[in-house]
Chains A and B, each alone.
Chain A
Amino acid sequence: MSELWQRLMTTPQGALPLGDWVNALIRMLMDHNGGAFDAIGSVVEGLAASVEAMLLALPVWMLMGVFVALGLWRLSWRFAVFVLGAFGLIYVMGFWHQTVSTLALTLSATCLSLLLGVPVGIWCARSNVANVMVRPVLDFMQTMPAFVYLIPAAMFFGLGRVPGILATVVFAIPPAVRLTSLGIRQVNTEQVEAGQAFGCSAWQLLLKVQLPIALPAIMAGVNQTIMMALSMVIIASMVGAGGLGNDVLSSIQRLDVGLGYESGLAVVLLAIVLDRITESFGKGMAARQSRAD
């Protein structure tokens, strides 16, 4: 310690070995908590594998049909036609299998993000201390370059889907936390008082008043989480997460502009479909609430 102090005093530039400390921390975590990481890893792998197996088990026409039907129900017949065209194009370009893998990765990462993010968001809404502590962490998670998460994730969990999904979860949690917390805090005081005045317990207040009224905001958070997750699972191909990201990555490695364009287009089409459909859920609820306040 005194050596560090001396260097800081004499030649301060580059004297602080923060990176070394982080390396030491990671090594220590790996040495002492290997069992915990293995357990987490196998749970995540189990989830991701079963989501992917489920999606791939469906015949192509049925999976496409589900999305077309969702588009028809939530938006319009025009959007349903667009969904059919978009997925048809992906299929004929030969990217269907990769797209389904990417969809599975995105859905798995989104599920985990919401499973962790929504309770933290509820906690932040109920406690100012929690809010003050969590907010800078979220800012850090969101602004840290996404690639940086891949390295420790790969060290802890090896290459493959698991580090990709977990790095994605870190990147995609913030909107889930933020919008859940915001939604609950925005519930009108008199609505909360009404819940209490009619004898709600703390749980009843949360489940019957606060969460339902916050649902449009939470759905906006779900939408953003899905979008963040989709962008991150592409990057996560660098640690072998698979899916469309592999094609994007190999197009870069081989300087194959055509492949890059095709795989990129598949990502964009998938993003549009997911975005519009999840957005419509939040909007429908918001319209119902806007005039009731």
Chain B
Amino acid sequence: MKPSKIVVQNLYKVFGDQPQEAMRLLKLGESKESVFHNLGQVVGVNNVSFAVNEGEIFVLMGLSGSGKSTLIRLINRLVDPTSGDILLDGQSITRLSAKELVDLRRRDMSMVFQSFALMPHRTVLDNAAFGLEIAGVGRRARESAAMKVLEQVGLAPFARKYPHQLSGGMQQRVGLARALAVNPSLILMDEAFSALDPLKRAEMQDILLDLQREQRRTIFFVSHDLEEALRIGTRIAIMEGGRLVQVGTPQEIIEKPADDYVRRFFRSVDTSRYLLARDLIDPGLSPSFAATRSVPPSASLNDVLHSLLGEHDPLTVAEQGGSSLGVITSSSALRKLAEHRLRDTV
């Protein structure tokens, strides 16, 4: 088990002028709606606890108003919590002084925004170097560091341009470069790709995954798009009305959705695309069933289908050189596929 990068414990955020009174009602079990009705206080985050592992892409999902944008801002304290604790590398950040907080933000975390939030009066290079400039890094050092990250996101030729001269996708690559330039161990991404068209969005997801393969950072990613979450998420958390409904791997989420709210996200998404070999195992057959061919448990649905097509023998699911986890037959694969396809269309 990897150590936890972020641990959130019983976190609450109430917006309004009587947060303590609202907290009292919430702890008595009153709902967010009744607190708003009785006190006029808006509950943003309601008793949320979870942990983010080091090096993973943790995707926080929810509809608008679910509190996900508040939660991501609690982690770098753009919003201060009403109650509860947030540990970063085992250290509480809720009690940091203003100076310690500024220091932490400069040193170890950065953020990417939905509207890009670039500085229009700065060139692409100066935008990428923004965090380093704020931290007091000298011109030469920060420009060479910024140039390096611009190369990583493919924008080096545009270093001297201004943001308004770039397309939306390129502007967000500048936003990503700005976040990478300070070399943080944690990047917060708030609906970072939501403003982009689907093709650009997929391209940005690929850039992010490529970067993540080279240098493992912890990424806390807020999104309302399930396909995005399934595509990039190591784990996914689903939020509704300020509460956390479910936390799990993409497979756990699509296989065992906690409730109808989670299921609602599947409606427009073909979840079967995210099935892996291990999800297709025939529960009726013993793992020791002798099959001539095998696939690793993380093989994609398409790989499994290719192997099954035109052959009658089942497939063994096993890590290379490991023991068998189970067997996939044409009918078990078809059954699983139907389960997803038919559920999605209902």
The residues of A with any CB-CB pair to B shorter than 8 Å are 188, 190-191, 193-201, 204, 208-209, 212-213, 215, 285, 288-293
Contacts and interface: CB of A to CB of B under 8 A. Distances in A.
A199 B76 CA distance: 10
Given A204-B134, A289-B164, A190 B102 contact: no
B181 to A, nearest CB: 10
Contact of B119 (A204, A213, A285): A213
B111 A194 contact: yes
B162 A292 contact: yes
Nearest to B171: A292
A190 B163 CA distance: 15
Q: Which 8 A-B pairs have the closest CB atoms?
A: A199-B106, A292-B120, A199-B105, A190-B117, A197-B111, A291-B164, A194-B117, A289-B120
A291 B116 CA distance: 12
A201 B131 CA distance: 12
A278 B209 CA distance: 48
A274 to B, nearest CB: 24
A209 B182 CA distance: 18
Contact of A199 (B118, B119, B131, B162): B131
A285 B121 contact: yes
Nearest to B77: A196
Contacts of B73: 193
Given A191-B119, A291-B164, A201 B102 contact: yes
B113 interface: yes
Contacts, number: 82
B316 interface: no
B119 A198 contact: no
A97 B308 CA distance: 96
A201 B135 CA distance: 10
Given A194-B117, A208-B133, 8 more contacts: A191-B118, A193-B113, A197-B111, A197-B188, A198-B178, A199-B134, A212-B119, A292-B164
Contacts of A191: 117-119
A293 B113 contact: no
Interface string B26-53: 0000000000000000000000000000
B120 A197 contact: no
B119 A290 contact: no
B211 to A, nearest CB: 19
Interface string B288-315: 0000000000000000000000000000
B118 A198 contact: no
Contacts of B251: none
Contacts of B114: 190
A289 B119 CA distance: 9
Contacts of B116: 190
29 contacts: A188-B115, A188-B117, A190-B115, A193-B73, A194-B118, A194-B119, A197-B76, A197-B78, A197-B109, A197-B110, A197-B188, A198-B110, A199-B105, A199-B107, A199-B135, A200-B102, A200-B134, A201-B102, A208-B133, A213-B120, A213-B121, A288-B162, A289-B120, A289-B121, A290-B164, A291-B164, A292-B118, A292-B120, A293-B115
Contact of A198 (B121, B131, B171): B131
Contacts of A193: 73, 78, 111, 113, 117
Contacts of B188: 197
B221 to A, nearest CB: 15
A285 B162 CA distance: 12
Nearest to A190: B117
Contacts of A196: 78, 105
B110 A288 contact: no
